[in-house]
Structure 1
Amino acid sequence: MSAPSHHPAIDVHAHVAVPTADALLEGQPGLAQQRGVDAASLGAASLQLNLRQIAEIGPKLTDAGLRLASMDAARVDVQAVSAAPVPHLWTDRDLAIRYTAASNASVAAFCAQQPDRLLPIATVSLQHPDLAVGQLESAVRDHAVRGVQISTSAGPGRELDDPSLADFWAAAEELGTAVLIHPWGCTLGERLDAYYLFNTVGNPTETALALSRIVFSGLLERHPRLRIWSAHGGGYLASYVVRADHAWAARVDARTTEQPPSELLRRTWVDSLVYTPEQLRHLVTVMGPTQVTLGSDYPFDMGVEDPVDRLEAAGFDAATTDAIRGGNAARLLELDA
Structure 2
Amino acid sequence: MDRPPALDAHAHVWLDAVEDLAARHPGYAAGLELEARRAGAESAAVNAEQAILRRALLTDVDARLAAMDSAGVTAQLVSVVPTQYHGWADRGLAAEIAAATNAGVAAHCALRPDRLAGLGVVPLRHPDLAVTALEDAVLRHGLKGVEISSHAAGPDGVPVELSDRRLDPLWQRAVELGAVLLLHPWGCTLDARLDRWYLANTVGQPVEHAVALSHLIFGGVLDRFPELRLIAAHGGGYLPAFLGRADHAWQHRPDARSCAEPPSAYVRRLWFDSLVHTPQALRRLVETVGAERVVLGSDYPFDMGVTDPVARALAALGPADAAAVIGGNAARLGLFPGVLAPRT
Q: Aligned partner of 2:77: which letter?
A: A
Aligned mates of 1:185, 1:24 — CA distance in 2: 21
Q: Aligned partner of 1:72: which letter?
A: D
Q: Is the 2:39–2:195 Cα contact (8 Å) retained in structure 1? A: yes
| Poorly superposed stretches of 4+, deviation over 4 Å | none
Aligned to 1:36: 33
Aligned to 1:94: 92
Please give the per-residue CA displacement for 1:227-248, whole angstroms capped at 9, x wherever unaligned.
1111100010011111101111
Aligned mates of 2:335, 2:97 — CA distance in 1: 27
Q: Aligned partner of 2:333: which letter?
A: L
Unaligned runs of 5+ in 2: none
Structure 1 residue matching 2:152: 3-state secondary structure: coil
Aligned to 1:204: 206
Structure 2 residue matching 1:154: 3-state secondary structure: strand
The yes-or-no answer on 1:237 pairing with 2:239 is yes
Q: Aligned partner of 1:223: which letter?
A: F
Structure 2 residue matching 1:180: 3-state secondary structure: strand
Aligned mates of 1:4, 1:83 — CA distance in 2: 32
Q: Is the 1:177–1:333 Cα contact (8 Å) retained in structure 2? A: no
The yes-or-no answer on 1:120 pairing with 2:118 is yes
Aligned to 2:23: 26
Range moving further from structure 2, 61-70 or 35-44: 35-44
- 1:286-325 equivalent positions in 2, closer than 5 A: 286-314=288-316, 316-325=317-326
Aligned mates of 2:164, 2:307 — CA distance in 1: 37
Q: Is the 2:14–2:58 Cα contact (8 Å) retained in structure 1? A: yes
The yes-or-no answer on 1:103 pairing with 2:101 is yes
Aligned mates of 1:55, 1:77 — CA distance in 2: 26
Aligned mates of 2:201, 2:162 — CA distance in 1: 20
Q: Is the 1:147–1:333 Cα contact (8 Å) retained in structure 2? A: no
Aligned to 1:78: 75
Query: Shift in Å at residue 251 of structure 1?
Result: 0.9
- Superposition RMSD on alpha carbons, in Å? 1.1
Unaligned runs of 5+ in 1: none
**TM-score, structure 1 normalization:** 0.96
Aligned mates of 1:81, 1:162 — CA distance in 2: 27
Structure 1 residue matching 2:150: 3-state secondary structure: coil
Aligned to 1:194: 196
**Which of 246, 254, 257 is the aligned partner of 1:255?**
257
Identity over aligned residues, as a percent?
A: 50
**TM-score, structure 2 normalization:** 0.94
Q: Is the 2:298–2:307 Cα contact (8 Å) retained in structure 1? A: yes
Q: Is the 1:293–1:329 Cα contact (8 Å) retained in structure 2? A: yes
Aligned mates of 1:43, 1:154 — CA distance in 2: 21
Q: Aligned partner of 2:29: which letter?
A: A
Aligned to 2:162: 160
The yes-or-no answer on 1:179 pairing with 2:181 is yes
Q: Is the 2:99–2:136 Cα contact (8 Å) retained in structure 1? A: no
